[in-house]
Each structure stands twice: as structure tokens, then as C-alpha cells.
Amino acid sequence: RLPGYTEWEKLEIAKGFLMPKQLLATGLTKRKLKMDDAALLKIIREYTREAGVRNLEREISKICRKVARKLASNRKSVVSVTTRNLRRFLGAPKFRSQKSDRRPIVGVATGLAWTEAGGEILKIETLLMEGKGDVTLTGQLGDVMKESAKAALSYIRAHQKEFGLPSGFHKKKDIHIHVPEGQVPKDGPSAGAAMAVSALSALTGRPVRGDIAMTGEITLRGNILPVGGIKEKILAAHRFGITKIILPWENKSDLSKLPKIVAKNCKFITAKSIKDVMGAALATK
């Protein structure tokens, strides 16, 4: 399995290959059509979602054809495409650009996921209700992800005294863990750490810091195991403005694969156990 291109790689491919190709095909030149990097990044983020660049080329081709027609009919000498007028050429964005909420919120942790189209952030929410100890997992989660949630809850129950939780709390409260955007299937073990933080935050009332994202598989002993797709996940966090990232200690070697600008602007916290993650992610009451 080959990983998809990152946003920065797509940008360089667009500038070095796709744009010149489509300019030549439509009889345009760089002097007649000017498109800045910000506009290309907006196309990549909000008009395409793919591992490769095929749809990106289609969108660039659409812009070039419209510009060629505009130049022929209006006899203008130059057309500039920017983020402000991009909608005139491509219409409304096809994909919603997520925003990261920086506020500390009780029961809401930011996880990181890998998809074929690149990295994504996941908001994991936990809600408590009066009940008999039932656990509900929603958000179209796969079996592995459900098992990660159960492992996280079992670890919290086994260490309830350390976390200041009352004895038998699990018999009086129903716990509901939800991962939004339920129309998108989700699976994999890498959200285990974020699920544990979200659940403990809801149980203790301590908010989760909104400027931190995390990834890592949790075991019943509380160890944090390495996961895949670290590069794509960190790039996703950086794209959404998150600069503090918790990752498994054994994934330290993956940091060497990051673009220099991302590595320079991000702070990485490596964790061997879930207690390391909780200490960094949970704020005071």
C-alpha cells in the first residue's frame, strides 16, 4: 500500500506539472492566467479529496477553459484567480473545511485519523447520563475502534481510585461515546488514547485542552502502542491550526519524514503510557 500525496506535494505537482499542462492545452500562458498558491491550496482542500491528483487536474482544467473563453470574449489581457474569486470559476466548495475549537471542553478530545485521501482530525465526544452502566458507541465505528473504546473504559475502571472516581461509578452512569460525521465509516486502533482522555474528562469534569491533538493505541495495562500514518496525521493537525501533538514514543522516528516547516512549527509530546497522555491533554478544573 502506497500513501497518498500530502497537500504540499500536491501543490508542487500542480505548480510544476498540472498547471503548465493545462495552460498549453487551452492556449494560455502564465502571463494571461495568474493563480497563487493560496488558491491552489483551497482547491486541494475544499474541492478535491483524493489520494492522487486526478480530480485536482480536472478542477484546474475547468478554470483554464473558463479563463480562455473569458479572454476570447472580453479581450482582457490578464485574469487572476485568487481565493476570493475562486467560487466564480468552480462554484461552491464540495467539502467542508473543518475548524479546530481551541477552547478546553469537558468530554471532547481531538484525535487524529489516517485515510486514503490523507490525514483528518476526529472530535471524540463523551456524555454521561444517569443509568445502570450501559455503554453506547456511535458514529459508524468499526469493530477495532469499538474495542479500543472498551479497552479505554476498562482501564479507567481498573484505576478509578487513582483518578479520584467514586467506587462503583460505572453502575450508576451510562456512558455514550460518539465520533461526529456519522455518515463516514471509521475504524482502527489509533483513537484509543483520545477515547480514554475524552471519557476520563467527562467522568472527572476536567476539560481537555483544545490546542492538543493525539493518536495512539491503548492496551489494558495503559501502554500506548505505535500507529501508522503519523506523517499524514501531523500534517492534518498542522492544517487545522493545531501545533501540539501527542504521539506514541515508538513513533519518534517518523518525525524525520515531516516537512521542515511543519516540524519547526509543531511541538511533539511522546507518550509511553496513557497517564502521559492524560497529564498533557487534561487541563485543571
Q: Is 190 exposed, middle or buried (0-12, 13-18, 19+ CB in 10 A)?
A: buried
Model pLDDT, residue 258: 85
Nearest Cα neighbor of 174 from 148, 138, 143 is 138
Low-confidence ranges of the chain (pLDDT < 70): 1-3, 75, 97-101, 116-117, 182-183, 285
Helical residues (DSSP H) of the chain, grouped into ranges? 7-13, 19-25, 37-46, 54-74, 86-90, 143-158, 192-204, 230-239, 260-265, 274-281
Nearest Cα neighbor of 107 from 133, 128, 129 is 128
Model pLDDT, residue 179: 92
**2-58 pLDDT, tens per residue?**
667 888 889 999 999 999 999 999 999 988 999 999 999 999 989 998 888 999 999
Sign of the C-alpha dihedral, residues 84, 37, 56, 59?
A: positive
Residue showing cell 495495562: 221
Largest CA distance in the chain: 78
Model pLDDT, residue 232: 86
Residue 167 per-residue DSSP state = T
DSSP string, 97-125: ------S-BTTEEEEEEEETTEEEEEEEE
Model pLDDT, residue 114: 82
Are the C-beta atoms of residues 198 and 90 closer than 8 Å to each other?
no
Residue showing cell 478535491: 48
Residue 186: partners with Cβ closer than 8 Å, 6 or more residues away: 113, 122, 139, 140, 141, 142, 145, 179
> Catalytic site residues?
190, 233
Are the C-beta atoms of residues 178 and 127 closer than 8 Å to each other?
yes
Cα-to-chain-centroid distance, residue 273: 22
